[in-house]
């Protein structure tokens, strides 16, 4: 293999690795934003009463290029939208929505971090 071909191959490998690191980093940041809250998105994180909802959030990878953040707690949508008008003692509602709206900033931040 010529030096040029080797250089191109190395570059492609480097980009693929960086791409994977950004993908994983974005997924992890999004999970943190929903569960714990985030300065990047303004999400307050999951309110904690028993800890059941907070502990239920999972990050899974249905395919190599997709990530899924989910919970199987039935009342999660009621907390997210605060449909019962609760007064939260910690954290708050709207974390999934704020994470969705803040995703471009998560991507920008993680990509910048990985570029260093």
Partner 1 sequence: MSVISHTAVHLALRNRLLTVSGLPARANENKDYTPVAGTAYVREKLAPATQQGVGISTDSPSEYTGLYVVTYFGVEDTGLAVSTSADAILAVFTKGLTLTATDGSVVRVRSDVAPWRGEVITNDGWAACTISIPYRILTS
Q: Choose, by CB under 8 A, the member of 43, 45, 47, 54 that binds partner 1.
A: 43
Q: Which is nearer to partner 1, 15 or 39 (CB)?
A: 39
Q: Which is nearer to partner 1, 40 or 53 (CB)?
A: 40
Q: Which is nearer to partner 1, 49 or 81 (CB)?
A: 81
CB burial of residue 66 (10 Å; 0-12, 13-18, 19+): exposed
Q: How far is the CB of 7 from partner 1 (least distance, A)?
A: 35
Q: How far is the CB of 82 from partner 1 (least distance, A)?
A: 8
Residues 71, 74, 75, CA angle at the centre, nearest 5°? Answer: 100
Strand partners, 60: 68
Q: For residue 113, state whether it binds partner 1 (rule: CB under 8 A).
A: no
What is the DSSP pairing of strand 66-70 with strand 58-63? antiparallel
Residues 31, 27: Cα–Cα separation, whole Å: 6
Binding mask 69-108 for partner 1 (x = CB under 8 A): --------xx--x-xxx--------x--xx-xxxxxx---
Give the chain's count of helices (H) and strands (E).
4, 2
Binding site for partner 1 (CB under 8 A): 39-43, 77-78, 81, 83-85, 94, 97-98, 100-105
């Amino acid at each position: 293999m010529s030096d040029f071909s080797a250089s191109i191959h190395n570059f492609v490998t480097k980009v693929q690795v960086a791409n994977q690191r950004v993908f994983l980093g974005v997924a992890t940041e999004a999970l943190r934003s929903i569960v714990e809250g985030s300065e990047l998105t303004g999400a307050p994180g999951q309110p904690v009463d028993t800890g059941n909802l907070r502990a239920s959030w999972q990050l899974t990878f249905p395919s190599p290029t997709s990530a899924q953040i989910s919970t199987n707690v039935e009342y999660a949508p009621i907390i997210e939208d605060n449909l019962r008008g609760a007064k939260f003692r910690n954290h708050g509602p709207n974390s999934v929505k704020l994470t969705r709206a803040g995703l471009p900033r998560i991507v920008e931040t993680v990509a910048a971090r990985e570029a260093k």
